A and B are shown apart, each in its own frame.
Chain A
Amino acid sequence: MASILSPTTSGYSPRRKSRFSRYVIFGLLVAATLFYLAPVYVMVINGLKDKSYMTLAGMWNLPRDLGGGGFPVAWEVLSPNIWASLRMVIPAAILSSLLGAVNGYLLSKWKFRGSDIIFTLILFGMFIPYQAILIPLIRTLDLVGLYGSWKGLVMVHVIYGIPIASLIFRNYFTNVPSELVEAARIDGAGLIQTFFQIMLPLSLPAFVVVGIFQFTNIWNDFLFGVTVVFSPADQPVTVALNNLNGTNSVDWTVVMAAAVLSALPTALVYIFLGRFFIRGLLAGSMKG
């Protein structure tokens, strides 16, 4: 904000003529905001409408009252799946962060012959279309008795979360001076002691970033949720929402409200911890 008063401090230096262009830019940004918020607006206001007066023709109109609209029913239908999602997402996000921290530490500070190649091979795992591993995945889960259980889903997310978590941690640890590890070694600490006493405490910011990023990713997953778990009460919320949307007997106020509810946890994380989320996103996409 200060840049408006002191033009040379950052980004772009406006010249005299730019007062007009600033209004134009502001107008464009407001227009873009309307576009980006339109679906959110549609979901929220129609979720809040009562089905008695919700019509297709009145989609853009505001609700007449604040009676809760479709939300009570949507909560009733969806809450088991919201809990199921939480039960599954939280351990999965924590476990994949822990694995990522160990891997990132080893791949940045304890490189060995071939470790960069192994890292690259691991990274490839985050780009594959998961359709290409579904058949053997399900057979394997079946074999170990985890097919259909939410624990199996946790395991799947932990394993396929290894690449992204390792990448973010590796990038983080690469920026921690190697001298810290060397100093710890000279002082008598080995690989494991150095990790627990120095690197792990230092990696708290990376834990926040990876934890939030993985929370969002795993919460938003649909393919694994719909294929690995089949008991309706254990299915993650994305699957439940999709089922609800496909059911003709349910009125739309409930569907809209359900869409809002299903998005709420990640939306809240984004709103309150957005900067960590952005860091994860940029770290996860690697540098140029």
Chain B
Amino acid sequence: MGANLQVRALSKAFDNTVAVDDVSLDVSPGEFLSLLGPSGCGKTTTLRLIAGLERADDGEIVIDGREVTNVPPQRRMLGMVFQQYALFPNLTAYENIAFALRVRRQSKSEVARRVGELLAVVHLEDAAGRYPHQLSGGMQQRVALARALAAEPPLLLLDEPLSALDAAIRDELRTELRRLQRQLELTVIYVTHDQAEAMAISDRIVVMDRGTVNQIGSPQELYDRPATRFSASFIGASNRRLTTVELVDGEPTISWGTARLPVTPNGAVNPGSTVLAVWRPEAAAVSALLPESAVTAAMPSALRGRIELVTFLGPITRLDVRVDGDDEPVLVDLVSAAAAHLEAGQVITVTVPPDAIRIYT
């Protein structure tokens, strides 16, 4: 059963640079939590603080009710997987996995039994006697995972464990990792800069920016309702413009190119104020226009533009559309079947439902 973890007001600075600033987290047993953000956002430092590899300047870390802020890593009972695997090059796969058990003075038979189990779990029974340099990257990472699990830590920390691997192996290992975590009911803290990966694997995601927590939520919540400008721009593809809110017939609208789109802000927005408007590529609908005919109002309530690029992505097709009066193309994702008749150069109308446009002040 996984541990619960509380992080309270954690802070850490290196040579006057604040790496982690007042971070608090509450992780339930068996939860898969990702720390997501660009490089330098403090996610790895947060993980290393939890691991005990760095000393917190301030705040506290509690694992299963035990305050461990100043406990050295070897006595925190964690497992950790590193980006570059960090396998001991002088030990075989078997000995690497056995390391934590031997250090903790388990009996020989107990070590053999446990390592055998773990080798089976990560499908490496045949590689037990091989040294790390004789293993592929994917196999090395499996050994690293098995090694981290050897002592049955209730809390597993992973620092971008898949980023050094090829895409195919990455997906496979990701699925396996998730399955294993469910099966063992492990609590996992997973650091990544890859938002798609975080989306795919996590129960909850912590979006971090410049050392602080930006938003915590399920992948769905983060995608549908990013709480901040940063989350909105960092997670998922989106169309974003800085614009101003104006009332037209008492209804709030924003300008986008030469168009004026009705919106439904979730909070109070002062007319005339500058905001960030964001909508997802898949939120829009498209209709083909007859060339140059259907330009109706001076300020249309839909975007009119010319398709610059059609990119077939399998189930969906992405359009880059140059909207009239706009500097850069907007992205529109359609179900591929619906986009079959579209081609570059065509002029179309893009309709964005008002409640699909999120406004950030």
Contact = CB atoms under 8 A, between A and B. Distances in A.
Interface stretch (A34-42, A84-92, A180-188): A180-188
A201 B92 CA distance: 13
A183 B82 contact: yes
Nearest to A182: B53
Interface string A166-207: 000000000001011011111111100100011001100000
B151 A188 contact: yes
B99 A179 contact: no
B90 A202 contact: yes
Interface residues of A, number: 17
Nearest to A176: B89
Nearest to A201: B90
A190 B74 contact: yes
Contacts of A186: 51, 53, 73-74, 76, 78-80, 148, 157
B86 A183 contact: yes
Interface string B39-53: 000000000000111
Contacts of B90: 198, 201-202
Contact of B151 (A177, A187, A198, A201): A187
> B74, B100, B147, B157: which has the most chain A beta carbons within 10 Å?
B74
Contacts of B75: 188
Which of the listed residues B79, B86, B104, B150 has the most CB atoms from chain A within 10 Å of its own CB? Answer: B86
A206 to B, nearest CB: 13
Nearest to A193: B103
Nearest to B86: A179
Contacts of B73: 182, 185-186
B82 A188 contact: no
Contact of B74 (A180, A185, A198, A202): A185
Contact of A187 (B53, B89, B103): B103
Q: On chain B, which size bracket covers the interface?
A: 20 to 34
Interface of A is mostly: helix
Interface string A253-276: 000000000000000000000000
Interface string B166-190: 0000000000000000000000000
A186 B150 CA distance: 11
A185 B75 CA distance: 9
Contact of B86 (A177, A190, A193, A202): A177
Nearest to B79: A186
A188 B103 CA distance: 6
Given A188-B104, A189-B103, A190-B72, A182 B88 contact: no
B150 A187 contact: yes
A187 B74 contact: yes
Contacts of B157: 186
Nearest to B99: A187
Interface string B151-175: 1000001000000000000000000
Contact of B84 (A177, A187, A188, A190): A177
A198 B88 CA distance: 7
B259 to A, nearest CB: 53
Interface in A137-159: none
A198 B148 CA distance: 16
A131 B86 CA distance: 47
A179 B160 CA distance: 13
Nearest to A180: B86
Interface in A29-66: none
Given A179-B84, A180-B86, A182-B82, A188 B53 contact: no
B101 to A, nearest CB: 9
B18 to A, nearest CB: 20
A190 to B, nearest CB: 6
A153 to B, nearest CB: 35
Contact of A189 (B74, B79, B83, B89): B74
Nearest to A190: B74
A177 B87 CA distance: 10
Interface in B54-86: 72-76, 78-80, 82-84, 86
A198 B151 CA distance: 18
B57 to A, nearest CB: 15
A270 B84 CA distance: 37
Contact of B147 (A187, A190, A197, A198): A187
A188 B83 CA distance: 19
B144 to A, nearest CB: 8
B151 A182 contact: no
A232 B151 CA distance: 61
A185 B83 CA distance: 16
A188 B90 CA distance: 18
Interface in B95-124: 99-100, 103-104
A250 B277 CA distance: 100
5 contacts: A182-B82, A186-B78, A188-B75, A189-B74, A189-B103
Interface of A: 177, 179-180, 182-190, 193, 197-198, 201-202
Given A185-B72, A187-B150, 6 more contacts: A180-B88, A182-B73, A185-B73, A186-B51, A187-B103, A187-B147
6 tightest A-B contacts by CB?
A: A179-B86, A187-B100, A201-B90, A183-B86, A188-B103, A186-B80
